[in-house]
Amino acid sequence: MIELNDRYENPLCSRYASDEMQQLFSPDRKFRTWRKLWIALAETQKELGLPITDEQIDELKAHADDIDYEKVACYEARVKHDVMAHILAYGDQCPKAKGIIHLGATSCYVTDNTDLILMTEGLQLLRRRLVAVISCLADFADRYRALPTLGYTHFQPAQPVTVGKRAALWLQDLLMDLHDLDDVLGGIRLLGSKGTTGTQASFLSLFDGDHEKVCELDRRIAARMGFSDVFPVTGQTYPRKMDSRILNVLSGMAQSAHKFSNDIRLLQHLREMEEPFEEEQIGSSAMPYKRNPMHSERMASLSRYVLTDSLNPAMTASEQWLERTLDDSANKRISVPEAFLATDAILLLYRHVAGGLIVYPTVIERHLQEELPFMATENIMMAAVKKGGDRQVLHEKIRRYSMEAARRIKEEGKSNDLLDRIASDPDFKLSSDELSDLLDPKRYIGRAPEQVDAFLQQFVKPLLAEDPESVVSEEPRV
């Protein structure tokens, strides 16, 4: 039986984001990571000579995962400080190690390092999602590499392209996103153990002025938590510009997804392509015949959220005072996890749509044939000139016939009869068969198929070969 909550719940959790991403940014995952960091700090301090025993560390490890959240809540109600509440509750569970928990550290040792760890893991998950989308679109582009379709500029009929070439444009956006993601992912460092203003003064005191041991403390903690390096200089926090860089990457993926979703919605209106539609899916409560592009619309909706949300860390980074100010905290708690949750949902939707796109070649061909006579006029004129026609006379006649055919289409709703007009004019000396041959769509797609082949071969397939496990992704939740 489903029980409804009588309090607001975040739709990103209840409807859109995957369980995996929700668990990553869950409170339990965060607080367990805090304890891992406290253990890493104690272990490293012991290795570097501080009077910490194996028994104390074993006690900390024994209670790393059994957090007494009721006791934490009681302490926080009293002390009004979340980190201290957890330190006190951990100390109650570990009486022998109580005195060495958080030794020399400030709150940001656990909060900031945890944020960096979780965002790193979040980017790694999104990377898998992104590669899965790229794989689906690559298959689609290859399958339809040579299928001519009407191109559009300003959403007005333009020179033909191919369905696969259009998909290659979507793909290229995603490859840029992947490049940006990898660049930012490779630049994330741990905060390490920097102290209240980033000078490491407390740790220098603990190690009796031994600068090398203080530096080694940073390096070993980073290694224990899976990082190769720490930020070389910080205030109390890691640079908030890191959050801005990360959410800019998420914004980039949202931009690409939004553009794709717009194109699919336009093409579905033209009935040339369609997003997947399930057998029992209802498009409209009032109009049973409708097949609305709901997944593409949801992608656009969530993408707009990520685009605007990315402004939050940008403003936070620009407004930090000196070595630290706390006006980042409440905003970070909301803006960063929600950007990851929304982007997770977007990429799941993207893969679902890209993996189930339906193409209607007959409709595509009809739209092409409606416009090709206009686009073929130069080729028709050149063929007629080769048969002895006067170029200037032919040009004027084609201009007049084109105007008449366009008027007939727009004002009378009739078919394009430009070819019939030309075929019946003896000045052109072209038969209907010759004219039909000049209207073969493949004559007008240029190097589109070859462009798709080269793009997939040089850029996409090598990428997928490096990461074959990422090509499978779960379905969106709703």
Q: Please identify which of the residues 14, 205, 228, 284 carries the catalytic annotation.
A: 284
Catalytic (active site) residue 154:
yes
Residue 284 falls in the annotated catalytic set: yes
Pairing of strands 358-359, 273-274: antiparallel
Residues marked active site are found at 154, 284
